[in-house]
Homo-oligomer: A and B are copies of this chain.
Amino acid sequence: MDLSQAPFETLLAELDFQLHDVLQLEGREEHLPLLEAAISLAAAEFAPHAALLDANEPTFDGARVHLPPTVARTLEAYHDAGFLAAAFPEEEGGLGLPYAISQAMVAAFQAADPSTAAYPFLTAAAANLLRVFGTDDQKRRLMAPMLTGRFFGTMALSEPHAGSSLADLRTRALPQEDGTFHIVGDKMWISGGEHELSETIIHLVLARIPDAPAGVKGISLFAVPRHHLDPDGRPGTRNGVRLIGLNHKMGYRGTVNAALAFGAEEPAVGELIGRPNQGLAAMFHMMNEARIGVGLGASMIGWAGYRTALAYARDRRQGRHPDTNDPASPPRAIIEHADVRRMLMTQKVLVEGGLGLSLFCATLVDDLEGSDPSARQRARTLLGVLTPIAKAWPSEHGPRANDLAIQVLGGAGYARDYPVERYYRDNRLNPIHEGTNGVQAMDLLGRKVMRDEGAGLQLLLGEVGSSVARHRGHHALEELCDGLDAGIRLITEVSEVLSRAAAQGRVRRGLANATEYLHMVGHVLIGWMWLEQAAAALAGDTDFHRGKVQAARFFARYELPRIGRQAALLRRLDDTAMTMPDGGF
């Protein structure tokens, strides 16, 4: 059974529904051919080579990094189609598409092969940072070649001793008389850090200028190309960036992941991007969109597993119904078994709900650069709260969906002949990179809720509440509306308790269960996404639409009740793990 195309069969219908029926984006007629082109390329070029790339990870021979040749070919097709610059303004060389549409296109590639897709996604993020923070000259020399795939980009934040803790970065940037900087230090976990796929690589590096303030307020951002660039931006000899070694990962194997030494033997010449000591703010411009992208990827790897498991369950015959156990009767397709249906339904609500949240965030990113100042303000406020959730919720629950996809396939799911075990390994990266989910939870509760007085949360819960009020009265939606109203009340109550604790100086205790808090809020938001999807689906009368309404019911019954446990822990500032004696573990 060839399952490699299963993720793409209904993807256009799903994206179309979410973008145009649920989010009500205008321009369906223009968007559909673009989405179709992205899905076709993903299905025809990315998906077929994913298993081969997984089995043949990058190697380093001491001089060069080697990758299977299909990677370059696949990316060339991607660049030729102009997809990398899809969301960039036409005057900058892009297609001028809404960010939400470009993210829907990205979704297709994430479902097909996230480890190949990582190269252009990192490059697009780096280019976008340069678009906002670069000088015209930097945009011409560094950004423009990224948009056509001539240069690739990276983000170089982590160091061997400092992953989550950016305050402790040690890499130095020594000012030179010609205005450049010599970068000195080791960077770790750099995706796309070394390869021969592009003319050069532009590393965006966080480093400290001498005498900068301690901590995150003394970090600046630099562009450090793999090769020295001439004034026209043509790459020449190698710059002083050296590969220390490749990291070998459980999944995402096709994405080179490198430890890099800057300036160890010869100078690593870089140029400042933006203003000195403002590097973290610039990097976070890139990082926030990357975080939303991580969540999207996690849902789409989950989607790939879900559609694969569904295709398998429709085809595979095994066993009989428990009330008709006649061995002479023919075995049933396993999709008929209640437990398989439960696993498929769970996958559906997790991945289609998560996808909804990512696309909603993408429309807010569009609003950030729109002409309406109140929409800009709303988007900024909502994204502050939503970004950590849009990163962490799908990256927790997308892998959960992948786990269930393996279980639907049984022994076949554990074998490398089928793609679902690869999806499971690939998706396990997502709770870790771009800020671990624990870091996201601290960002949400400690910064966005406690410190900023919860304005964003109030706005967000107000929007959920309005949505519930608007959809009341439809019999099919009542249970979910009830659950969401209860959820809003619980979040409000718990947030007050936690904010009060913080105000009284009990910051550590208030934050002790930040992860439970994030997932409680996340579950309510995903319930909201399902309410909006079900409400939009009531207008249709195909099985697709009925399935959306039924899935919303399933979310209300199987998933939303999980928040009661979390609220109880949070309400009483549970400190059981904190007060465990160290020697008691």
Contacts and interface: CB of A to CB of B under 8 A. Distances in A.
Interface string A540-564: 0011101110110110011001101
Given A310-B585, A442-B322, A547-B581, A508 B576 contact: no
B576 A550 contact: yes
Contacts of A515: 339, 342
Contact of A345 (B189, B214, B251, B577): B577
Interface stretch (A158-166, A176-184, A378-386): A158-166
Interface in A315-331: 317-323, 325, 327-328, 331
Interface string A425-456: 10011011100111001100010000000000
B579 A550 contact: yes
Interface residues of A, number: 103
Contact of A331 (B168, B310, B340): B168
Contacts of A163: 318, 410-411
Contacts of A514: 338-339
A322 B507 contact: yes
Contact of A338 (B247, B432, B512, B565): B512
A342 B577 contact: yes
A50 interface: no
A584 B544 contact: yes
Contact of A546 (B310, B339, B543, B584): B584
Interface stretch (A32-40, A115-123, A147-155, A416-424): A416-424
Oligomeric state, in copies: 2
A65 interface: no
Q: Which of A331, A338, A415, A574 has the most CB of B within 10 A?
A: A338
A405 to B, nearest CB: 12
Nearest to A511: B322
A466 to B, nearest CB: 27
A414 B436 contact: no
A432 B415 contact: no
Contact of A414 (B167, B417, B429, B558): B429
Nearest to A217: B327
Contact of A249 (B247, B345, B415): B415
A406 B399 CA distance: 13
A335 interface: yes
A489 interface: no
A165 B472 CA distance: 46
A296 to B, nearest CB: 19
A322 to B, nearest CB: 5
A459 interface: no
A168 B327 contact: yes
Q: Which of A340, A341, A542 has the most CB of B within 10 A?
A: A341
A325 B546 CA distance: 51
A23 interface: no
Contacts of A428: 403, 406, 414, 421, 424
A514 B338 CA distance: 9
19 contacts: A164-B410, A248-B416, A248-B417, A322-B507, A338-B512, A338-B513, A338-B514, A338-B578, A339-B438, A339-B441, A339-B442, A407-B431, A414-B432, A425-B425, A543-B582, A547-B583, A550-B581, A557-B576, A558-B574
